[in-house]
Structure 1
Amino acid sequence: MNLESKIYDRTFANCLMNASGVKCMTFDELEVLRTAENGSFITKSCTLQPREGNPSPRYIDLKLGSINSMGLPNLGFDFYLDYVLNENNRNNKNVFFSLAGLSLEENMEMLKQIQNSDFKGLVELNLSCPNIPGKPQTAYDFDRTKVVLEEVFSLYKKPLGVKLPPYFDMVHFEMMAEILNKFPLKFVTCINSIGNALFIDNETVVIKPKGGFGGIGGAYVKPTALANVRMFYKLLRNDIAIIGCGGVENGRDVFEHLLCGASMVQVGTQLMKEGTDVFHRLILELKEIMQTKGYKNIEDFRGSLKEL
């Protein structure tokens, strides 16, 4: 059974990877991901300078997922650039490098340095971080998104994709797709967590930042994630791959993301809860589903969701 998947001109051993932000901040965490049974991995979304992020408690596991307001803690751009360049030296050109600058100028500075480096992997530009107080999500401002991408592609010529927040209105899917189709994107990651949720336990909010408001993930968001994967699969050019993310707890969830059109599937909350052993379990469960249905490879069914 073949679980290989492709994005752009890259072939991955299987369709699984971590979601940026989960178990991928430190050197040790990245090394564990590097040797796990995932098809690829992505670095923590980074800023130009290191950040401690928001005060704790800022992440809490919930019965059906998680809530967090991390505030982009990371070790800074230089650390992650050194790491991915070392991965290239190991002959791994399939690593993903996630950027989440606090301004367009900061993103452009990081992209300039990557463009001028020997980096041969793929960049994910995070346009959807919901957890920085006072900072709006770029991808909810359609005019601003267009300006950002115009600036980015005036400079950056290597493989690049964007990470999007969840959309809930059909018109918004169409508006964003129209913008994205104008640019030489290689992939779109959807979705980031659903921002500004509130969870209460014993009459008290469970996380400290922003008065308890945070991004919700896990099973809570799966239907929204699948809807975003499906709509962008239908609306975007065929050469823009979809990376699905949201609500992946078992092999059935992976299968449904692929069925909706995802080429790769990221695991976030369940990776946080279970560790990298989750990839082995998900692969076994996905293989069992494929075998039962008679599929020999992912392309046999990817994007083939039936409509009534």
Structure 2
Amino acid sequence: MVSTATRIGDFQFDNCLMNAAGVFCMTREELAQVESSAAGSFVTKTATLEARAGNPEPRYVNTDLGSINSMGLPNKGLDYYLDYVIEEQNRIGSKPHVLSLVGMSPDETHTILKKVQASDYQGLVELNLSCPNVPGKPQIAYDFETTDTILKEVFSYYTKPLGIKLPPYFDIVHFDQAAAIFNKYPLVFVNCVNSIGNGLVIEDETVVIKPKNGFGGLGGDYIKPTALANVHAFYKRLNPSIQIIGTGGVKTGRDAFEHILCGACMVQLGTVLQKEGTEAFDRITKELQAIMAEKGYETLDDFRGKLHYID
């Protein structure tokens, strides 16, 4: 008998699989569909303070190797998702869940988090640090000084369970520098990774998405090796109290197994969920359980983080 149950902080999940923010999470109906699936949890659409329509379409396209998108943070606004997760946490039998948030400026980030702090919500929050928020600045998590400042300010008033969504890093020294900052704060988790930014997909002689002249975030097979590297790099560097959610390129049980092998305690589905729907949770769970049974693993902790190296 094998179990894919897992934990983040004080929260217990029956299954390690969940959706990635941005897929099957825009509306209450979509979130309820994930809730009723084999997934162990759901994360909401990344909410801004006010509702946003997002970028013009076409802004998401599936490709042979994954997907490309430039969504522009379409969402129904903080109040819509905050009200829903508060309702869910009070419903008997509800799964633990994650509220995803982003501020369009540092001031807005604090306004949002102070509202959550003052609310009745007691669940996990994911602060997205992988969106370009400040004109002329890179994604926040690529600006280590700004990241440190924001986290220091946030934890001066925010006392509820908080994690952060990260962009992919590509340099070893950046893993070192980022982890040194994250280890200073009582983060519950980091989520590795958001899409690889500013890819370009062309069909015939034309880009496939409209915003930014076709530049968009890559997901799916394109990013799995990068996602695995980020998961494992942070697993080796972060305090044991900071759990890791692995996101990127998961479309089979083997992919989920590799994320956990690299150190992830939960695994999110994005592109495959967009392509297959919530049935993907059941299929991938069964494939993961079959791998675990074949290898004699009964729990995720039997192999989590135990990646082998070549001598």
> Please, what TM-score do these two structures have when normalized by structure 1?
0.98
d(CA) in 2 for partners of 1:293, 1:129: 39
The structure-2 alpha-carbon separation of the partners of 1:72 and 1:135, relative to structure 1 and needing over 3 Å to count, comes to farther
Alpha-carbon distance, 1:136 to partner: 3.3
Pair 1:151 & 2:153 matched: yes
Structure 2: which 5+ runs fail to align?
Answer: none
8 Å contact 2:42–2:98 — kept in the other structure? yes
Pair 1:251 & 2:246 matched: no
Look up the match of 1:23.
24
8 Å contact 2:104–2:133 — kept in the other structure? no
Alpha-carbon distance, 1:134 to partner: 6.7
Look up the match of 2:193.
191
Alpha-carbon distance, 1:297 to partner: 1.0
d(CA) in 1 for partners of 2:303, 2:167: 26
Pair 1:206 & 2:208 matched: yes
Look up the match of 2:278.
276
Match of 2:101 among 99, 118, 128: 99
**Deviates further, 298-307 or 88-97:** 88-97
Alpha-carbon distance, 1:133 to partner: 8.5
> Could you tell me the percent identity over the aligned residues?
61
Pair 1:14 & 2:32 matched: no
Alpha-carbon distance, 1:64 to partner: 0.7
Residue 174 of structure 1 aligns with an amino acid whose one-letter code is D
Residue 103 of structure 1 aligns with an amino acid whose one-letter code is S
Deviations 1:258-305 (A, max 9, x none): 000000000000000000000000011001100110111111111100
> Please, what TM-score do these two structures have when normalized by structure 2?
0.97
Count of residues paired in the alignment: 308
Deviations 1:229-260 (A, max 9, x none): 00000000000000000000100000000000
Look up the match of 2:120.
118
Residue 268 of structure 2 aligns with an amino acid whose one-letter code is Q
Pair 1:171 & 2:200 matched: no
Structure 1: which 5+ runs fail to align?
Answer: none
Structure 1 segments, 4+ long, off by >4 Å, are 130-135
Computed over aligned residues only, the root mean square deviation of the Cα atoms, in angstroms, reads 1.3
Residue 35 of structure 1 aligns with an amino acid whose one-letter code is S
**Deviates further, 190-199 or 107-116:** 107-116
Deviations 1:18-54 (A, max 9, x none): 0001110111111111111101110000100000000
Alpha-carbon distance, 1:170 to partner: 0.1
Pair 1:299 & 2:301 matched: yes
